[in-house]
Structure 1
Amino acid sequence: MPSGNSTKPRDEIQRLVSVMAALRDPESGCPWDLAQTMSSLTRYTIEEAYEVADAIAGGEPDEICDELGDLLFQVVFYARLGEESGDFTLQDVARAISDKLERRHPHVFAGQLPGDASELNAQWEAIKASERAGKARTENALLLDDIPSGLPSLKLAHKMQKRCATVGFDWPNTAPVMDKVREELDEIQQELDAPERHQAALEEEIGDALFAMVNLARHCGVEADTALRKASHKFANRFNGVEELARSQQQTLTDMSLEEMEAFWQQVKRQSQA
């Protein structure tokens, strides 16, 4: 990571804006960048956001810095497209988020005394609810209307449940949530035990169970997406250990039985917990 650079941060931001303008220059710009639209960029933005998350999980500052730069470029790209269409500029984007942050932090910017964590969270949700109410008066919006349907499914479920909780549509504690999880698992079993399996019904029941598990995670103060990501990384590490153990014994996974691989799995698991 560069250090000791005397260039002011705002100069580098302006340099990035200039680079973006050059890439979009109709005469001398990059053909790929010139062909992009807001719609075509969205999948790259999602990929870059996940790459930032992976870099943070890896804990390497240089990698995090690099991936954040890729994500920042996405924002600058959208702003350039907005400027070209006459809809908004990067300054407008920065102004909008600054206004929102100041509005949502009156304990910092409006001289209000800060409360404890629960009071601050309630204040945050109340301000967001007021903002949504203002939109509803002009757009006749419903409570869940402004939650992006294209969010990753675990995040979508979490945001919907959290939003409904703001109007009291929520379980009071984890006990009934656990009951709901068990109920949904029983319904999956019923579909599996049915004389004729209906794939669509089975998919629906598994979806209900996943939704209930997200709700359980939320009630436990756990981010379901983060928990699943960590579990996936843990699985990958242990499975890699199984493969390495097999190689050390001149075996290949495809030639091993499930019981043999399970024995290796338990060995790797014990080693990881030691």
Structure 2
Amino acid sequence: MSIVDNKIKAPAPVPGLPEISGQFEDLLALMARLRADCPWDKKQTNHSLIPYAIEEAYELGAAVQSDDDEDIKGELGDVLLQVVFHCQMYAEQGRFDISDVIATLQEKLVRRHPHVFEAETLKDDVAVRERWDEIKAEEKRARVARGKPQRRLDEVKAGSALMQAQDVQKQASKLGFDWEGISGAFDKLDEEVSELKAELANKSEADIKANIKEIEKELGDCMFALVNVARKLNLDAETATLTCVHKFKSRFGYIEEQLEAVGKRLEDSDITEMDILWEAAKCHERSP
């Protein structure tokens, strides 16, 4: 992990059984070894890892809520793995390495804390937050001055796909790009669902596999349109989806419990029996 003749060099893999030392350099060497010798790790790209980075961040949040030290250590490690994994691949591409990432973070932390490292005084956490936002705005102006284009929707916050979809729609609506009522959002949803159905109509498994990228785009359009409906109803799409996930898990748990009560496993049941129990779970939810 060094810069030689202005070229980035990725950490080199170390042969033999890795030592569990707790040292950062050894972790980087281990990641390099995995990239060299593991078929799955070798196959990954920075884009293919995006869902894993998002998933690990959510799992860390859940672990912190659980307050279990072993879970927290494991999930913090998984988040760190994503950082190390990405840096290894960018270093392999000759773009930057982990030391560049750390230096960038250090510079940012110093720059955004003038009340700690300079004479500036801020009286409380509210003032700190306001100053933080001012510095971020200054950084954005500096990026524009360097020639990086600044678009109106660049202000959309990072988050899950549903959160970003709702935020980008909200920002576009503020700029006048929106339907007046909910009917337009429903019409768009119907249109997108029809296009997805048309994309799948009379297609074999092989056809679907060969055209999976286009199908993915059509499915994304459907989900984006449904988020628009949620926004028009003043509902949060993320919360609505999480509520549904919780409801599904609860009903499926009911199915599992009822099967266990008669000495059966899920694997021994069929869809007809599960459907009957699913309806029973819905009735169970409504009962006092």
| 1:72-125 C-alpha deviation (Å, 9 max, x unpaired) | 112112222222333212111011112212222333333433345544333222
Aligned partners of 1:136 and 1:142 also within 8 Å: no
Aligned residue identity for 1:254: D
- Alignment correspondent of 1:231: 243
> How many angstroms apart in 1 are the aligned matches of 2:82 and 2:261?
47
Secondary structure of the structure 1 residue equivalent to 2:152: coil
- Alignment correspondent of 1:200: 192
Residue 20, structure 1, aligned to residue 31, structure 2: yes
- Alignment correspondent of 2:276: 255
- Alignment correspondent of 2:213: none
> How many angstroms apart in 1 are the aligned matches of 2:261 and 2:32?
57
Residue 144, structure 1, aligned to residue 153, structure 2: yes
- Alignment correspondent of 1:209: 229
Secondary structure of the structure 2 residue equivalent to 1:39: coil
Aligned residue identity for 2:148: E
Secondary structure of the structure 2 residue equivalent to 1:239: helix
> How many angstroms apart in 1 are the aligned matches of 2:105 and 2:75?
21
Secondary structure of the structure 2 residue equivalent to 1:93: helix
- Alignment correspondent of 2:18: none
Secondary structure of the structure 2 residue equivalent to 1:139: coil
* Greater RCO (Cα-Cα under 8 Å, separation 6 or more): 2
- Alignment correspondent of 2:98: 90
Residue 113, structure 1, aligned to residue 121, structure 2: yes
| Number of residue pairs the alignment of both structures matches | 226
> How many angstroms apart in 2 are the aligned matches of 1:254 and 1:244?
12
TM-score, scaled relative to structure 1: 0.61
> How many angstroms apart in 1 are the aligned matches of 2:67 and 2:43?
35
Of all paired residues, the percent bearing the same amino acid is 28
Aligned partners of 1:253 and 1:261 also within 8 Å: no
Aligned partners of 2:90 and 2:96 also within 8 Å: yes
TM-score, scaled relative to structure 2: 0.59
Aligned residue identity for 1:18: A
Consecutive unaligned residues in structure 1, runs of 5 or more: 1-9, 171-179, 218-223
> How many angstroms apart in 2 are the aligned matches of 1:159 and 1:96?
28
Consecutive unaligned residues in structure 2, runs of 5 or more: 1-20, 195-221, 263-271
Aligned residue identity for 2:102: A
> How many angstroms apart in 2 are the aligned matches of 1:145 and 1:211?
20
